[in-house]
Amino acid sequence: MGAIQNLYRSHHQLTHGTLGLLFVTAFWHWADRMVANESFFVGPWKVLRTTISLFATGTIYPHLRTSGWEFLMGYGIAAMIGISLGMAFGMSKLVREFLDPWLGGLYATPTVALAPLIIIWFGIELTPKIIIVLLTAVIDIIINTYTGVINVGQEFRMLGMAFCVPKRQIWFKILLPGSLPYIVTGLRLATSRAIVGVVVAEYFGSSEGLGWLLFKALDTYNMPLMISCATLLAGTGIVLNQGILAVEKIMAPWRDTKLQE
């Protein structure tokens, strides 16, 4: 008994976390029992079995490849564009004054609403999907980089200028490292948005991908497949989020990363 109590005391966070997860799963299972209608609601075991069989039969791999490629391309380009634009915003007052209204507008626009327009413009190949993912993801990265550059202590910048440090070194030795934690936050927030982008893009015209599989399941009322796809997408989101969160904690331990600003 003493050993168990000690274990509980030293790992109570982990224990409570597991308990919470178990509690939610049990509730899910109980709800499934109560509903008892497979075309309406599906319990955790059935979802697990469906997911395993998707992998075992190999049907999932082409979809994973397509969606993964869309995500990686869109997100990668968004990261490049977002970080450079955010730096430009933070650095130049002129750029800021000219583009601020547009950034504010784009921030307020539900970019997923642009998806049908982009499909009309670029067809239903891979390109429009990458553009949709890019558009949904880029805004968080721009805004966070911008905030980061502005928040780098003005004193450091002044110090650099006072010592006549060349402009390039001010960028690479002061502004970039100073705003890095913010950039990582932006990258993290962008992952979940990019996944939304992938799903929405595939809704508006595609023949492959996790999102497409989800909508096919919806059309055929295949509840287990649908929840299975949803869980896979959600799982990807959670894993990416937690992974980048861990990086964030290493790079900027002084920041409270729970603040989702």
Name the site residues for another protein (rule: CB under 8 A): 12-13, 16-17, 19-21, 23-24, 40-41, 94, 97-105, 107-114, 116-117, 119-121, 143, 146-147, 150-151, 191-192, 195-196, 199-200, 203-204, 211, 214-215, 218, 221, 223, 226-227, 229-230, 233-234, 237-238, 240-242, 256, 258-261
Closest CA to 182 of 64, 100, 83, 52: 83
Q: Smallest gap, in angstroms, from Cβ of residue 117 to another protein?
A: 6
**How near is the Cβ of 250 to another protein at its closest, in Å?**
18
Q: Residue 96 or residue 173: which is nearer to another protein going by CB?
A: 96
* Cα(60)–Cα(228) distance, integer angstroms: 11
Mention every residue, 6+ apart, whose C-beta is less than 8 A from residue 202: 67, 70, 129, 209, 210, 211, 212, 215
Q: Match 């000690």 to its residue by tokens.
A: 6
Judged by CB, which is closer to another protein: 104, or 166? 104
Q: How far is the CB of 210 from another protein (least distance, A)?
A: 9
Can you say how many angstroms the Cα of residue 205 is from the centroid of all Cα atoms in its chain? Answer: 22
Q: What tokens were used for 135?
A: 């558009």
Shortest distance, CB of residue 212 to another protein, whole angstroms? 12
Give dist(CA 81, CA 186) in Å, integer. Answer: 13
Residue 208: phi, psi to the nearest 5?
A: -160, 155
Which is nearer to another protein, 156 or 215 (by Cβ)?
215
What is the Cα–Cα distance from 202 to 210, expressed in whole angstroms?
A: 8
Q: Which is nearer to another protein, 23 or 166 (CB)?
A: 23
Count CB neighbours of 18 within 10 A: 11
Q: Kindly state the smallest distance separating residue 237's Cβ from another protein, in Å.
A: 4
Closer Cβ to another protein, 120 or 166, answer by number: 120
Q: Rounded CA gap, 71 and 217, in Å?
A: 21
Of 75 and 203, nearer to another protein (C-beta) is: 203
- The answer to whether 129 and 67 are in contact (CB under 8 A) is no
Least distance from another protein to the Cβ atom of residue 41, Å:
8
Scan for tokens 């109570």, then name that residue.
Answer: 12
